[in-house]
Structure 1
Amino acid sequence: MMSILLPQTHNVTNMVPSTQLLLLSCFLLQFASTFVNSSYSTQNYYYVPESPKKALLNEIDSCWKAKSNWASNRQALADCAIGFGKYAIGGKYGAIYRVTDSSDDPINPKPGTLRYGVIQTQPLWITFSKDMVITLENELIMNSYKTIDGRGVKVEISNGPCITIQYVSYVIIHGISIHDCKPGKSGLVRSTPEHVGHRHGSDGDAISIFSSSNVWIDHCYFASCTDGLIDIIHASTAITISNNYFTNHDKVMLLGHNDQYTADKIMKVTIVFNHFATGLIERMPRVRFGYAHVVNNKYDEWKMYAMGGSANPTIFSESNFFIASNNQFAKQVTKREAKKKWKSWKWRSSKDIFQNGAYFVPSGYGSCAPNYSRAQSFTAAPAFTVPAITLNAGPLTCVVGRAC
């Protein structure tokens, strides 16, 4: 079942001035020839892939964004992830499910609501029939093989508990705004059509990823939640966080449960093409035990630090663009929460750009490059192009029949 989407309203935050568009065009024309071709799976009977085209600086967006048939070929997006979350296929092999009702019932969700779709056991590609603001009554517990796709409309989840990805795999969340999230209440919440369980109450994160794998979060807006914006904990791994816009928050992104939870050593996360805008304080990300490849992100005037960690994590900062604030005590990109032995931790900066006094303190010995498979790998764009290629971070304005 395919759906007809209404045009999305303009998002003033993401409108791009004509001079910036001209700059972006120049960068793309200059560097497009240096990147490899993107490719599509040939074993798929649920959508019709187009011929591959040469990748541009943003290898995710160049895979699908310029194609006018995105609305009739939505599941092609599942082939466009890069990095550790490359295999997060979401509902690629499932039916299209349309959200038509913005109401919420945590125990007995109605067909047509978002909760009814995300708890189903079969793969689903979830879309929205119109602009809507969804205020959840309790945390939204997602099942495996689900995509939440907000393209074509303006979708907000706000002013209530937000999204929990727990003990599941193969999830995509794309093109929605998640902000002003509140803690969940103690009580019953349905997680599958057959199971209702008692929950102790969520923390107030925008997205909590707990003991889950193969997750991709792309082109979303995050701001002003009670706890974190994205938490990735309890041995979650194979995750890509890309093209998102973060603003107005304290503790932005946590990777790793606590300093004693050694199971987080398996964690591998790619953080790419995001815009960490003004109004952020710390944790972009903060890492424990695991591995983070932080590449081609723009950082604007953090108030404490940008990247931090404890318990011997590995952080590879590659071709990012850092602009420090005028506060002389907030120039350092890095913060290690350890009194000793941190000098052996592998924290490296490669081809980053630092402005207004920003600086990165490296540590450790030996290579810390990501051990990507051939399908996961990609080439970082030059750091000076990052302000241009992150201009469209956050939800896009997509109109049916036109390129986004």
Structure 2
Amino acid sequence: MANAFPFSLHFLFLLSLLTLTFVFSSPVQEPEAIVYEVQRSVNASRRNLGYLSCGTGNPMDDCWRCDPSWEKNRRRLADCAIGFGRDAIGGRDGRIYVVTDSGDDDPVNPRPGTLRYAVIQDEPLWIIFKRDMVIRLKEELIMNSFKTIDGRGASVHIAGGPCITIQYVSNIIIHGIHIHDCKQGGNTMVRSNPRHFGWRTLSDGDGVSIFGGSHVWIDHCSLSNCRDGLIDAIMGSTAITISNNYMTHHNKVMLLGHSDSYSADKSMQVTIAYNHFGEGLVQRMPRCRHGYFHVVNNDYTHWEMYAIGGSASPTINSQGNRFLAPDIRFSKEVTKHEDAPESEWKSWNWRSEGDLMLNGAYFTPSGAGASSSYSRASSLGARPSTLVSTITGGAGALSCKKGSRC
């Protein structure tokens, strides 16, 4: 992913300055306030308020899934995110664009009707699909700001080629897509907007690559078997929610933070909620650096090395998750404090609250868990971990039919 740089060194320098101004000119969201908002949303769902509430305890799903007219009210979804990515509006304020062509013959001059043509446009777009399709991209799908990719009502697979890149843009929603078997791309020209195309170096082969992006929500996707990460966020990316996804058969699942020396990632804030980390996963669910990471009500049913890890003093707030350790004798520990001696990592703020540990699983906490600010943030409990299987029961891409609830 770190190889996915813009088209020239000169352009990269100028774009980096603009990006840092864009990302950091907005005030960093206060972690306590966002964690409180997650809890407020959960409580509202619990009380079964509003005619759409299904009472599942999953506030994102309760916000829209009970509506039998979801297909006519697609953009309601943009109001349903919680956590750090809750302000990602995607293409809510734009028109609906229907993808009719699964092809990707020319990454520089994409045909109207293709997914690539839609995502590079300057205007906000809510992108849907006319029918089931498998899209094998020739090169990375470089998205422009204010776009929603909404796979509801069709079975849409992005697979077998390079996949999605969210680079130096904001307000992206990716929902209801199967993303798998992603490969490297690059060393060629690719268009990023209607006015510009340029040289792309070799990419890493991530499912979703977030590079200097902000206000991103990835929801109800099924991801597996990519060359590098399933979802990676680096280089100052922030304001991200990763929710309701089903992830399987992969080694390095999620990298959040570019490197131990890249201090700009101290502003990274990511909510990881209601996901199912399933069979065939090895590590990095997620692997964190520098920032603040709220890991809430996820179901971990497999890991071969560890579930949650990190370096460079990230804050990890784990609440109400279910951790089922594998039968492998030496893989019972949920956590991995990487690249540091205990004398260093014992000060990192890693806390487990209300997590359910099964089959010998254990979480190694660290840091000043009793400090005032961290304690307040962590004391806002998630739904009970015993309910995680219900909350995450619909994780992954849904099979939604017009005229009935999803």
Shorter-chain-normalised TM-score: which range?
Answer: 0.7 to 0.9
* Cα distance in 2 for residues equivalent to 1:289 and 1:205: 21
| Separation in structure 2 between the aligned mates of residue 94 and residue 56 of structure 1, nearest angstrom | 31
What is the Cα deviation at residue 368 of structure 1? Answer: 2.7
Deviation string 1:254-280 (CA, Å, 9 cap, x unpaired) is 000001000000000000000000100
Quick one: which amino acid aligns to residue 381 of structure 1? R
* 1:368 corresponding residue in structure 2: 374
Q: Is the 8 A contact 1:132 1:154 kept in 2?
A: yes
Q: For the Cα contact (< 8 Å) 1:245–1:277, is it kept in 2?
A: yes
How many residues are aligned here?
358
Deviation of the 1:54 alpha carbon = 7.6
CA distance in 2, matches of 1:182, 1:198: 18
Secondary structure in structure 1 of the residue aligned to 2:332: coil
CA shift, 1:391, in A, is: 1.4
SS at match of 1:84: helix
**TM-score, scaled relative to structure 2:** 0.85
Distance (whole Å) between structure 2 residues aligned to residue 55 and residue 193 of structure 1: 44
- Provide the aligned C-alpha RMSD in A: 1.8
1:4 is aligned to none
CA contact (8 A) 1:172 1:217 kept: yes
TM-score scaled by length of structure 1: 0.86
Which residue of the partner structure matches residue 96 of structure 2? 96
Q: CA contact under 8 A between 1:227 and 1:251: conserved in structure 2?
A: yes
Q: Choose the corresponding residue for 1:35, options 18, 37, 46.
A: 46
Q: Assess, with a 3 A threshold, how the Cα gap between structure 1 residues 117 and 34 changes in structure 2: closer, same or farther.
A: closer
How many angstroms does 1:185 deviate by? 2.3
* Contact persistence 2:54–2:66 (CA under 8 A): no
Distance in 2 (CA, whole Å) between partners of 1:291 and 1:330 is 25
Cα distance per residue 1:192-239 (max 9 Å; x no partner)? 011001100211000000111100000000100000100010110000
Q: CA deviation at 1:389?
A: 1.5
Counterparts in 2 of 1:298-377, with a 5 A limit?
298-337=299-338, 338-339=340-341, 340-365=343-368, 366=371, 367-368=373-374
2:107 equivalent to 1:106: yes
- Please state if 1:73 is matched with 2:73: yes
**Structure-2 separation of matches of 1:379 and 1:60:** 17
- Cα deviation, 1:289-319, whole Å, max 9, x if unaligned, reads 0111000000012000000000000000000
Q: What letter is aligned with 1:362?
A: P
CA distance in 1, matches of 2:43, 2:70: 22
Residues 4-403 of structure 1 aligned to structure 2 (within 5 Å):
35=46, 53=53, 56-104=56-104, 105-337=106-338, 338-339=340-341, 340-365=343-368, 366=371, 367-368=373-374, 380-403=382-405
Aligned counterparts of 1:174 and 1:33: Cα–Cα separation in 2? 23
Kept in 1: contact 2:176–2:396 (CA 8 A): yes
Amino acid at match of 1:348: R
Between the aligned residues of both structures, percent identity stands at 59
Residues 369 and 390 (structure 1 numbering): CA distance in 2 closer, same or farther, change over 3 Å? Answer: farther
For 2:68 and 2:90, how far apart are their aligned partners in 1? Answer: 22
Q: Deviations over 1:158-182 (max 9, x none)?
A: 0100000000000000000000000
Partner Cα distance (1:379, 1:68) in 2 = 32
Measured in 2, the distance between the counterparts of 1:130 and 1:38 equals: 34
Query: Contact conserved, 2:98 with 2:130, CA < 8 A, in 1?
Result: yes
CA contact (8 A) 1:189 1:199 kept: yes
Amino acid across the alignment from 1:103: G
Structure 2 alignment gaps of length 5 or more: 1-41
After superposition, the C-alpha distances for 1:373-393 in whole angstroms (9 at most, x for unaligned) are xxxxx9621100001221110
Cα deviation for residue 328 of structure 1 reads: 1.1
Separation in 2 of the partners of 1:34 and 1:83? Answer: 15
**Aligned-partner Cα distance in 1 for 2:47–2:237:** 30
One-letter amino acid of the structure 2 residue matched with residue 274 of structure 1: N
2-side partners of 1:196 and 1:60: how far apart? 37
CA gap 1:371/1:94 in 2 versus in 1, 3 angstroms: farther
The SS at the match of 2:294 is strand
- One-letter amino acid matched to 1:96: I
When residues 371 and 110 of structure 1 are mapped into structure 2, their CA distance, relative to the original with a 3 A threshold, is farther
**Deviation larger for 254-263 or 386-395:** 386-395
User: CA 1:122–1:37 in 2, change beyond 3 Å: closer, same or farther?
Assistant: farther
Q: Which amino acid in the other structure matches residue 269 of structure 1?
A: V
The one-letter code of the counterpart of 1:360 is F
- CA distance 1:363–1:195, change in 2 (3 Å): same
Structure 2 CA distance for partners of 1:32 and 1:371, relative to 1, 3 Å: closer
Relative to structure 1, is the Cα distance of residues 34 and 227 closer, same or farther in structure 2, using a 3 angstrom cutoff?
A: closer
Is the 1:254–1:285 Cα contact (8 Å) retained in structure 2?
yes
Q: Secondary structure at the match of 2:357?
A: strand
Q: Relative to 1, partners in 2 of residues 1:53 and 1:276: Cα closer, same or farther, differing over 3 Å?
A: closer
Instruction: Compare the two structures and name the one with the higher helix fraction.
Output: 2
Query: Secondary structure at 1:117's aligned position in 2?
Result: helix
| CA shift for structure 1 position 32 | 7.9
Equivalent-residue separation in structure 2 for 1:139 and 1:33 (angstroms): 39
Which 10-residue stretch deviates more, 361-370 or 261-270? Answer: 361-370
Displacement after TM superposition at 1:35 (Å): 2.9
